[in-house]
Chains A and B, each alone.
Chain A
Amino acid sequence: MSLFVALLARELRLSVRHGADTLAVLLFFALAAMLFPLAIGPAPETLGRLAPGIVWVCALLAALLPLDRVFGADHEDGSLDQLRLSGLAPPAIALGKALAHWLTTGLPLLLAASPLAVMLRLPSERLPVLLAGLLPGTLVLSLLGTLGAAIVLGARRGGVLLPLLVLPLAAPVLIFGTAASDAAAAGLSPRPHLLLLCAVLALALPLCPLAAGAALREAE
């Protein structure tokens, strides 16, 4: 357990060193979302209706950006071998990486989602539902992304392969997340959709690290 905490501390220390990575994710998130008012016009009612979907899609794409570094950097410089020989089980390494990815990518995206949604004219009473969906949603994206990163490890052009692998898996998250916002907009309870999102998280939390651990064992 203390070794797991040490792994997390190592990952966070490294990402503080490479703070520009997190900044790049946030800037991408903001810039991609800003394209929509330009493309579909600034009419508040249209934008406000599309806002949750825009935020979700942009968050999903932004979360993909740092994925090829999750294991890639450690793989290239030999650190991954040292991690695998540290006595931590491969699934625990994958879980630590996923948690670090969420803390440095998912959490900042979650914090940036509010101002962005307001900019997109989302009615303020619907903001809590959007954020309540993004919290489990970004966690699932980090877990799925870590799984994808472990699978493409050592593959040529892994960075191109990764989004193709992760995006289809992330579809349920997008569906339930936007369905919660739609339900709230129609005056229905968003609860079932949010619970389904939590169920996806409950499924991904054990399965993704286990599968990523198996992929790490196969990595050359």
Chain B
Amino acid sequence: MLEAQGLTVFRAERLVFRDVGFSVGPGGALVLSGPNGSGKSSLLRLLAGLLPPAAGRVLWEGADAFTDAGAHARRLAYVGHQDAVKPGLTATQNLRFAARATGGSVAAALEAMRLGPLADLPVRLLSAGQRRRLALARLAFSAAPLWLLDEPTIGLDASSVEAFGALLSAQRARGGVVVAATHLGLPLPDAAVLQLG
């Protein structure tokens, strides 16, 4: 379903990685692992279409993924290492734009990451882990077949990791693909591992 061939990325003249390839089928998961600076985040940004590759191709169901940038953006959900939440807005207000973009209920998404009681609090009052859960709650109403996650569970407590695991299993059960970079170990049984660096 998602296939990459010969990917090469430079950051300001420095070669980050070269000739990276992999293939993930429906319901599959790929864990990116490697030391700091080995290019895990760059690879995720590349797969999201946010960073152009210096060489190589990304294929989605056999066709070049980046020929139609808008279509590619609609079939993926990306959670970067930043939470992309606004401290001045409430949890509900933060999710409203994403809800409009993907369709779905904000309340249900907050409930999926157990943020229901915090829905109307300004985000600046939330802890780092709670903000991370809010960032992950975007995934709950995403029907996108491709999830790209950069250190998704950083700062999460055990029960939140469990709630997040349920989201991941649901995504894989409906045939979606998960690509995640992590140092912590994720609730992704039988995931393939891509070693970078």
Contacts and interface: CB of A to CB of B under 8 A. Distances in A.
Interface of A: 2-3, 6-7, 9-10, 13-14, 17-18, 77-79, 81-82, 84-89, 220
Contacts of A81: 45, 48, 50, 78, 80, 82, 84
B83 A3 contact: no
Interface in B50-94: 50-51, 70, 73-74, 76-78, 80-86, 88-89, 93
Interface stretch (B97-105, B162-170, B174-182): B97-105
The B interface, classified by DSSP as helix, strand, loop or mixed, is mixed
Contacts of A17: 86, 88-89
A17 B89 CA distance: 8
A189 to B, nearest CB: 46
Interface in B16-37: none
B183 interface: no
Interface of B: 45, 48-51, 70, 73-74, 76-78, 80-86, 88-89, 93, 96-98, 100-101, 138
27 contacts: A6-B96, A6-B97, A6-B100, A10-B96, A10-B97, A17-B88, A17-B89, A18-B88, A77-B82, A77-B85, A78-B82, A78-B84, A79-B84, A79-B85, A81-B50, A81-B80, A81-B82, A84-B73, A85-B48, A85-B49, A85-B78, A86-B73, A86-B98, A87-B73, A87-B74, A88-B101, A220-B51
